[in-house]
Amino acid sequence: MVAPPPGKSPHLAKLEQLPLAEVFEPSHLELLAQIASQEDYAAETTLFRPGDEAQWFYAVVSGRVSLTLQVPGRAPTIVASLSRGDLFGWEALRVDSRRDITAVASKATQCLRCSGAALRELCELDHELGYRVMSHAFDRVARDLSDCRVRLVDMYGQGC
């Protein structure tokens, strides 16, 4: 187990207020806060684009981020919106991965972000923390996948 470094991270308080704080021990939160940085984005700031190296992993503190897919010959479509507590940029948890979607702050937005490499390293060093990160990530990804499957059927298409 990795010991938290001395001194509190300035981001800990923000992290503690997010829903994800419920699944981590205080010592783990402290470790995560140490590798996190706070970012403020003005409305319409692009956070990343398809093809970008997936460097950062984000948690939304306030505001809204929209994920947009661009299909040649068609108007761009927002396929997901992310608000307080939502996590995004999962690609950063994988080694050498790239973005396949555009993330834009659709209004003034504050995020906590950490480097995917740093997070992976932390998980490697502390398997208990790693288990909780992955377990939490799996829970979110599974929900997103379930939501996506519902949307696949175009349920509003007929009748209702």
Partner 1 sequence: MSARLTHDGFRRLLEQVREAGYALVGPTISDGAIVYGPIAGADDLPIGWTDEQAPGRYRLRERGDRAHFGYVLGPQGPRRQLTPPVETLVRIRLGPRREQGPRTPEGVEAADEDGEPLALIGLRACELAAMAVQDAVWTGGPFVDPRYARRRERALIIAVDCLEPGELCFCVSTNTGPGVEAGASFDLRLTELGEEFLVEVGSERGQALIDGLGELAEPSTAQLFAARTQGVLAAAMELHGRERQLDLDGLPELLFANLDHPRWDELAARCLSCGSCTLVCPTCFCHRVEERAPLDAPTSERVRHWDSCFTDEHSRIHGAQFRPQIRERYRQWMTHKLGAWVSQFGTSGCVGCGRCIAWCPVGIDITEEVAAIRAAPVAPDDAEPVALPPATTVPALAGDPMHPQLARVVSVREELREVVTLAVEPVGVFSHAPGQFNMLGLPDVGEVPISISGQAGGELLHTIRAVGAASRALVALEAGDRLTLRGPFGSAWPLAELRGHNVVVIAGGLGLAPLRGALREMVAHPERYPSVRLLYGARSPEELLFADEILSWDRSIRFAPTTAPAVLESGHVKVHVTVDGAAPGWTGHVGVVTKLMRRKPLSAHARYLVCGPEIMIRFVLRELETIGVAQDQVWLSMERNMKCAVGMCGRCQYGPHFICKDGPVFRWDAIAGLLGREGF
Nearest to 113 by CA among 15, 9, 23, 6: 15
Shortest reach from residue 105's CB to partner 1, in Å: 10
The piece of 32-40, 49-57, 104-112, 129-137 that touches partner 1 (CB under 8 A) is 104-112
- Regarding 143 and contact with partner 1 (CB under 8 A), the answer is yes
- Regarding 156 and contact with partner 1 (CB under 8 A), the answer is yes
Which one among 29, 47, 56, 66 touches partner 1, defined by CB under 8 A?
66
Nearest to 36 by CA among 6, 62, 63, 16: 16
- Regarding 158 and contact with partner 1 (CB under 8 A), the answer is yes
How far is the CA of 49 from the CAs of 40, 52, 67, 69, 87, in angstroms?
18, 6, 10, 10, 17
Q: State residue 100 phi and psi, 5-degree precision.
A: -125, 15
What is the binding site for partner 1 (CB under 8 A)?
A: 64, 66-68, 75-81, 83, 85, 104, 106-107, 143, 146-147, 150-151, 153-160
